Structure 1
Amino acid sequence: MRKGLIVSSLLAVASVLAGCGSSNEQPEAPPSAVSIDQVRWDNGNVRELRAAIDGRAAHGLDRMAFAIEGQPGNAEGDRQLTQSALRYAAALARGATDPAKLHEVYTVPRPDPDLLPGLAKALKDGDLREWLDGLAPQDNGYRALSKAYLALRGSKDAVTPVIPADSEPLEPGSTDPRIPMIARQLVASDYLDGKDAQGNLYNPAMVQAVRRMQADFGIKPDGVIGKDALEILNLSDAEKARAIAVGMERMRWLERTPPPTRIDVNIAAGRLVYWRDGKLADTRKAVVGEPENETPQLGSPIYRLVANPTWTVPRSIQSKEIAGKGSAYLSRNNMAWKDGWIVQQPGPQNSLGLVKFDMKNDHQIYLHDTPAKQLFNEVQRQRSHGCVRVEDALGFAEMLARDAGVLDEWHRARATGKETFVPLGREIPVRLIYHTVLFGDDGEPIIRSDPYGWNDRVSAALGFAAGGSHRLRASGGDVGP
């Protein structure tokens, strides 16, 4: 994976991954001092509102209707206009859709501004459109998505060259003018190193990259670039626009001011980011839930480290993957029955590895180490049963323990060889969130795969036709969480 792409992508989506607010760290907004019946409109305000809504394509909302109801000059008309303005303002401030209704689980905190006082002031000051535009995210990443969306929507020329289809599949070793475009997308998707993307030859490094991609998506991994492989690599302008609109909507769901110290995990990309006092402190790979065992989108803090953890096997894994394997399997994997549950004892081969990062949520989701280190070398790292496996988890635990001032306690806990709990003292907010648009070294959006197909329900709510892209294939890997 290209280091530059990782870093620039993470920095560019900093605000995307920065929205995991902790509600107890921010003062609660006082009740609005403005009544809806006190808000007054004139014809100039209505024109501003209409112009703002007419320009909603800048936010990827042009497939949605925002009707303007009411006429100024009477109480009922003013009330209807206010309600129309608040509907559009809410779409910009916290999203046009409700993620809790689109996803089975969504507990990431959302913005909840009191919009009425701001609307009243904007009307009085005559800057309604400026106020409305200011409700959307104001970072460079959002602006880049807006610019890309408008270009895709308004121009017949593709922002990224479309790879022309051809009746003949591309065989390994062949030469073709489409090779640079194919290589570019392979590099953007992390299957190919940039140094191997040279010329018009379908070289061995590219063949290997294509085979890995084919295996991830359930296509015969023969390295031949046919119809199915091209469909993965070759998004149409409409598909790109759809993904970018979804990306903007997911950004609007997030609180604008995050805690300065936090951990963000992008489920779709399999990446973890650690922010310390508002600065990027660390990035590393993560393995997350495979399709059918998806990692949910949660806002959930880490409150303690667990050295040498035991693993109580969930009933679902026990019944589907361990039942019937017998006592020899349990003994070989250091497992035993305890109070009606299968429990794996501490040790380097424990499915949780040597450290667990305990989190507060009702879904038994947490971060942890793993003995299956090879999975971090995968491009598509959706390989677990739902929890998040952290690359070099011991190094990460050391970092968190040092920052929390409990490093000595952590070292003593590890040395026991037994399951030992080390409270952090101060909880670290964590957000598990799903974003399929990253950014390249040049700041331009790069559209990655949608491994869970979660973009479909968001795009449909935004008024787009359903996508038809290939889905990541479940791996059927180890029994770990």
Structure 2
Amino acid sequence: MNRYCLFVVLLALLSCKKESILDLDTFKISNSNDKEGEVIEIDTTLISAFRNKSISDFYSSRDNQTVWQSEKNRKIILERIKNCESEGLNPSDYSISKLLELEKKFTEFEESEQVNYDLLLTYNFQKYLNHLHSGKLDPKKLYTNWDLSIEKLDIKTVLNDALEKDSLAGEIQKCQPKALTYGKLIKALSLINEFPEDKTKPVVTSDEKIEPKTTNPAIVAVKKKLLYWKDLESNDSITSYYDSETVEALKKFQTRHGLISDGVIGKSTVTALNFTKDERKHQIIANLERWRWYSKPFAPNYVLINIPNYSLTVVENQNTTMSKRIVVGKSKRKTPVLTSVLQTVVFNPTWTVPPTILKEDLIPELIQNRNALKNKGIGIYDSKNNEIDPVKWDSSRPRGYRYVQKPGYYNALGVVKINFPNRYSVYLHDTNHRNLFERNDRSLSSGCVRIEKPLEFAQLLLDNPKKYSAEKIDSIVATKETLFLGIKKRYAIYQWYWTAWCEDGKLIFRNDIYNLDAGLYAQLRN
């Protein structure tokens, strides 16, 4: 039996397994001198052994013949895969070592070996393109509160276009996510790779904060960290005295990490300082994966929320027209990641107490004091929507009622909320705790997003300054009557989660408030 027959038998056996596991080391390289560039017909049994519909469809559209005769195209593919670490991907996921080994022997291949190489190149290249376009992992299998529809790549069309138009590099480029932040993350990965090996030691402090112009043994480690990250330029004063030059350097560091830039070394600053280069690099790679989960172009007008950055940005025709500070869900009640379209502005909304808050907070309070809810403007309603006297409230069946807070300045939702379709029943809204926007850590809500100065945001969405001027909106709020207004101008909303990027050549990081980065990186490199 010749080698070609053995090869067919091998792949036939593989095709009987539940999943196709192709051991690249089983393929031998001959010393044949077959001419490069020859088109060879492929036995469909070899194609089906991969158990990959995209590959089968592609080769079927090419009359089941080899396609990578062009040395130029093969080198483009191999170069992209070899250097895909610059995109946060892992070359070993695409068997790059074996592919490079096979390429060296290409001109010596027998027909069966050229077929084998052609199939392996297609298999790994399409895997790379899929990962580049849509990510390696599926967020819906990782998280319960990520509602992103992965847009699958039409591999057959991409590869055929590349071959027919002789534009392989261009087609690869089209597979990359288009978001501006993705480009900033690619740059961030490049920047962090320029840093040398991180040999700095952790900053160890007591629970007390370190103020400027004081002496503390931990300052030596702080200065070395700041020098490493290029926030401190001079190493002339590596002493335990916290001098003014180091204070200014630390403020730069704090700004880059979304901390209060007061120059005071507290717990949050020490935590940020103690991240190593590798940990930050892993964080960037995890964020690149997240952005690959949504490769569609953004709508012309949209609201972009970065949950860990506590920020809301309005973008209209590529121009930022408004930015707001926000409060997001606490770790136990995370704000979901999703995309939708803004639908309605509701002035003077009522607030129906959700089950968790009812069980944990209001029912115990009501049992102790029947007037507790009345003092908060919360009415108790029976199944017929009749408001009942708290004295007649039946504590043995507390869930037999609805608990609704009347509109007003002190309503839990404030004076305005913005609705959009989603399966989590979350929305954007004002708050009766308006002082929270002054805090640095604003992971405090039950999942919805609270907006600072939301009436300005509502006015922008209504897009009619004459009809809905600031004065008119104030008069609507003053009535304390609920009013629903449809949003006529189409605004998409992207409620996103990213903790790293770069600005003006500087690395930017945010606290991973839901502790997602390290786990995601580990799964990417599993």
- 1:329 maps to 372
Seen in structure 2, the aligned counterparts of structure 1 residues 377 and 410 have a Cα distance that, compared at 3 Å, is closer
- 1:389 maps to 450
CA contact (8 A) 1:274 1:281 kept: yes
CA contact (8 A) 2:429 2:454 kept: yes
Tell me how far 1:117 sits from its aligned partner: 1.7
* In 2, Cα distance between equivalents of 1:234 and 1:183: 16
Alignment of 1:82-93 (within 5 A): 82-93=122-133
Structure 1 residue matching 2:485: 3-state secondary structure:
strand
Structure 2 residue matching 1:383: 3-state secondary structure:
strand
- 1:414 maps to 477
Structure 1 residue matching 2:304: 3-state secondary structure:
strand
Aligned residues: 401
- 2:420 maps to 359
- 1:402 maps to 463
Tell me how far 1:446 sits from its aligned partner: 0.9
- 1:460 maps to 522
1:59 aligns with one of 87, 112, 116: 87
- 1:372 maps to 433
- 2:408 maps to 347
Once the two structures are superposed, residues 30-64 of structure 1 have per-residue CA deviations (whole angstroms, 9 ceiling, x without a partner) of x99x7432342226233432221111111111275
2:105 is aligned with 1:42: no
CA contact (8 A) 2:348 2:408 kept: yes
Q: Which has the larger radius of gyration?
A: 2
* In 1, Cα distance between equivalents of 2:181 and 2:407: 43
TM-score (norm 2): 0.69
2:478 is aligned with 1:435: no
Seen in structure 2, the aligned counterparts of structure 1 residues 157 and 133 have a Cα distance that, compared at 3 Å, is farther
Tell me how far 1:140 sits from its aligned partner: 6.3
Alignment of 1:3-402 (within 5 A): 35-39=58-62, 40-42=67-69, 44=71, 45-62=73-90, 65-67=93-95, 78-137=118-177, 141-150=181-190, 152-153=192-193, 156-157=196-197, 164-165=201-202, 171-172=210-211, 173-175=213-215, 176=219, 178=223, 180=246, 181-193=249-261, 205-207=262-264, 210-211=265-266, 214=267, 230-326=270-366, 327-339=370-382, 340-402=401-463
CA contact (8 A) 2:459 2:468 kept: yes
The one-letter code sitting in structure 1 at the alignment partner of 2:481 is K
Once the two structures are superposed, residues 239-280 of structure 1 have per-residue CA deviations (whole angstroms, 9 ceiling, x without a partner) of 111011112222222234211111111111110011123321
Seen in structure 2, the aligned counterparts of structure 1 residues 325 and 140 have a Cα distance that, compared at 3 Å, is closer
Tell me how far 1:423 sits from its aligned partner: 1.4
TM-score (norm 1): 0.74
Seen in structure 2, the aligned counterparts of structure 1 residues 166 and 267 have a Cα distance that, compared at 3 Å, is closer
* In 2, Cα distance between equivalents of 1:87 and 1:356: 43
CA contact (8 A) 2:129 2:172 kept: yes
CA contact (8 A) 2:328 2:335 kept: yes
CA contact (8 A) 2:463 2:489 kept: no
Seen in structure 2, the aligned counterparts of structure 1 residues 395 and 144 have a Cα distance that, compared at 3 Å, is closer
Segments of 5+ residues of structure 1 without an aligned counterpart are 1-30, 194-204, 218-228, 465-481
CA contact (8 A) 1:437 1:446 kept: yes
Structure 2 residue matching 1:244: 3-state secondary structure:
helix
CA contact (8 A) 1:163 1:182 kept: no
Q: Quick check: 373-382 or 398-407, which moved more?
A: 398-407
Tell me how far 1:191 sits from its aligned partner: 2.9
Structure 2 residue matching 1:407: 3-state secondary structure:
coil
Segments of 5+ residues of structure 2 without an aligned counterpart are 1-53, 224-241, 383-400
Once the two structures are superposed, residues 109-148 of structure 1 have per-residue CA deviations (whole angstroms, 9 ceiling, x without a partner) of 4444423222223234554345324422366654443344
1:451 aligns with one of 505, 513, 516: 513
Structure 1 residue matching 2:339: 3-state secondary structure:
coil
The one-letter code sitting in structure 2 at the alignment partner of 1:379 is N
Once the two structures are superposed, residues 207-254 of structure 1 have per-residue CA deviations (whole angstroms, 9 ceiling, x without a partner) of 3xx44xx3xx6xxxxxxxxxxx63332310101110111122222222
Structure 1 residue matching 2:333: 3-state secondary structure:
coil
Structure 1 residue matching 2:488: 3-state secondary structure:
strand
CA contact (8 A) 1:86 1:116 kept: no
The one-letter code sitting in structure 2 at the alignment partner of 1:114 is D
Structure 2 residue matching 1:459: 3-state secondary structure:
helix
* In 2, Cα distance between equivalents of 1:47 and 1:277: 39
* In 1, Cα distance between equivalents of 2:506 and 2:273: 17
Q: Quick check: 168-177 or 252-261, which moved more?
A: 168-177
CA contact (8 A) 2:147 2:337 kept: yes
- Per chain length, whose mean CA-contact separation is higher, i.e. which structure has more relative contact order (CA < 8 Å, sep 6+)? 1
